[in-house]
Copies of this chain bind each other. A is one copy, B any other.
Amino acid sequence: MKRNTRLSSTLHILVHMAEKPEHALTSEQLATFIHTNPVVVRRTIAGLRDAGIVTSSRGHGGGWLLGRAPENISLAEISAALGETLLPLSTAPESPGCLVEQAVIAVLDDFRVAAEKLLAEKLSRITLADLTADFRRRYDLIGVSSHAV
């Protein structure tokens, strides 16, 4: 089954941005982090700009900046801004009038709605700041072990 890499790629980009809060990063630079094309980056994070999670500016010296402090950016918002559900479970009718299908859809739809709420709650408790903290912990560890050798 194909897995969705967009959330993971976007978080990767955002942590890099959080690590360089002073200057805008270009789509070109962001693209190299996730080994892709600048246009793909712009397209992917366009929704984040609309949600105020990042800002973009054109022209010389332009690029992308976080729209607010990493502490105030939750993974739930990021995921929502990407415009994709985490649970791509279809509950759309395909045999209108079939009571069996109606029963299946009713039960499955209840599950889907409740599950999406649960997932959003879990993600809302993780912020971009948690990710950068985790990164710095790893970074410092490498430094220490390098000194030790």
**A interface secondary structure, majority:** helix
Q: Which residues of B contact A142 (CB under 8 A)?
A: 99
- Tell me the number of copies of this protein: 2
- Is the CB–CB distance between A104 and B131 below 8 Å? yes
Interface string of A124-149 (1 = CB under 8 A from B): 00100011101101110010000000
- Is the CB–CB distance between B15 and A100 below 8 Å? yes
Q: Which residues of B contact A86 (CB under 8 A)?
A: 87, 89, 115
Q: Which residues of B contact A3 (CB under 8 A)?
A: 85, 88-90, 92
- Is the CB–CB distance between A8 and B108 below 8 Å? yes
- Is the CB–CB distance between A15 and B104 below 8 Å? yes
The contact size tier of chain A is: 35 or more
Interface residues of A in 95-141 (CB under 8 A from B): 95, 98-108, 111, 114-115, 118-119, 122-123, 126, 130-132, 134-135, 137-139
22 A–B pairs (Cβ distance < 8 Å), ordered by A: A1-B83, A4-B89, A4-B90, A5-B92, A7-B89, A8-B91, A8-B105, A11-B107, A11-B108, A12-B95, A12-B100, A34-B94, A34-B95, A35-B95, A75-B111, A99-B138, A103-B131, A103-B138, A104-B131, A107-B126, A107-B131, A118-B118
